[in-house]
Structure 1
Amino acid sequence: MRQQKSHEAGTEPPPSDAQMQKTLANLVNALDRCLPVPLGTQLRGLIEFGIALGELPSGQRLPSVREFAERAGIAPMTVSNVYRELRLSGLIETKPGAGTFVGDGHSSDGLHSSAMRKLQRRVDRLLDEAEALGMAPSLVASMVNARAARSRSSSRCLRILMVGNFLDTTQKYADRIREQLQPSDSIQATTVEALRAAPLSPFLFDLCVTLAHRRGEMEALLPAGVPVVGLSFIPSEETRSLLATIDPMARVGIVSVFPEFMAFMKPGVQRFTPHVSNTDIRLITAPDLPEFLQSLDVLVYASGAEHITKDLPAYRLAIEFQYVPDPHAILQTLLPAIEKLRTEIPKKE
């Protein structure tokens, strides 16, 4: 009774509850009953890709089965089955008495380590001191890089495997990550499908990098002892810029490769095209896809659907909705894991 009166009096909910309510509203609003995809599949995709793309960070509390079912107007069993599948894949976890949360897939690779926080504070103090002395941050970075280079000769060279859904886009991810590696390190791109077809020797790679929501899957596919780092991704700057330039009166069509990505992709495109009102979406296997493509002024397609652009007239605009590894995830998750491996004794073949 007291809680009810407090709520009626306008007392703000705790921050964690407010964030959960925001998550609940975002998930419910993204469900689209006009899509040719079951709501359960949409919900699973919204959570999976929300984790992969940084929309749902580790530790984020999710709504209960009952609360989500009531708010979304769908069967509790549908929500329960989705949560069960996500728990089995290690993406979410249930804490008795506390609720359901996005799993902490990075607990072993340094994301929340006290050592990293301590170093970050020291870096901040160093930059503050440099600013007081009139030194630019770029000069400080150059000094740190030069100092680190002198100590790299004895550090271990690493062989890294980048695993994604499509080889071309995964190679682009690998190229981005390569910029953060030492010249003697190597990084090779491959796909989940290729790994399933040809299991790897445990001595071929020192580290695997993949999308955040595929980390558990990679740990099951790879030989024991190969650490796996899951990264979150963000829309590329090029994609955001191109979407912002679309004519407000244009007929924009979106094509998704994966059914579970449809409910996530459409609002993702609309986020950068709020000025466009005529937007529709199709799955790449839709029977009316050829007619749909011909009716558009602008096509926005998911990576992996490049081949459909050949069916567009030459004057039509086609934009690939590209993602890139989140720089913050590289800094806070991948680089600590890499530096930890450099100090370890390599495996003997």
Structure 2
Amino acid sequence: MRDNGAGRVVAGRRWGEVAEVNIAVSRKIGVPLGTQIRDQIVNAIAVGDLRAGQRLPTVRQLAEFLGINRNTVAQAYRQLENDGHVITRAGGGTLVAGDPTTTAPPPAQTLRDLVRDAFRQARLAGFSAREFAELAYHTSAQEDAAPASRIVVIDEYRGELDFVCATIRRALPGSLVDAFLVADLQAADPDELRVRLAGFDCALVAFYCLEQVRPLLADANLPVVAAGVGPTLNSLRRIADESAGKQVAIICTEPNGPEYMAAALHRAGITFAVDPLLAHVHDQRLAQILADSEVIIASQGSVDVVATLAGDTPVIAYSRLISEETLATLRSYTDYLAANTPDT
């Protein structure tokens, strides 16, 4: 499977050795698009998602996938090269810098090793795990001296909403995270809603309900970050490869979710030999539908339930619910807020 230059995925072809890069940008958060691209690539390198020697998409490929100007991507790539994160070779494209044969651990692994060593010493000195964690947390908070981010998460489905909130709390420890279902926003008194939302720095909204939510947030004057909720390119590739010619089931946590997922896959250029079977986790037909399927595509909120019932049938997670690129964008925005918030 490959990118056809417009962000669509075509089954049966591969990108070759181009690295998988999950990037999303938003014009709504006050952070330059080039900075968002650069930060997300640096983060992917830091956590090991991108490794030395891997080739990034071309400027044209990435610009067309994101729907932005090529000069913006080129500028981000130049900054990455100036900072030593990537190198450009004539005829070889843009590569992640470093020697791919080295065995040095990525920075994230180095940090984990440092934490383990520190905890081991604390335990030998008689301190409990809770005492160690609490002191580390409070020390970090004092060192950062930055106000806590206040984020409201909005989604149409309860299972996905809970999953996204948990992900945000893990990714941004210390942040204040609240949640709204779209139906709750629609039912709320406008004046009360405006007062409640005034306490937040931004709203993280699942992209598939963004158009529903924007009018409801208009009076709150609240910046909106669109959450990358949907299949990653890796998911799309696996779905296209494994579902060819097979009976597919699409499962979600809510009754109308599978139809949305099926439509999203169709827009991504994935077609099925026969119409997929659609069900939600509380559907009385679920067990039979799973038994009749050769491949199961499950939303992240339903994947654990489905996996316990699927037996040997392959289960493909349709989405990570909130992608790393969305988290990187959110981190960039909260850092921006912290840097521009006057001390009190």
TM-score normalised to structure 2 length: 0.49
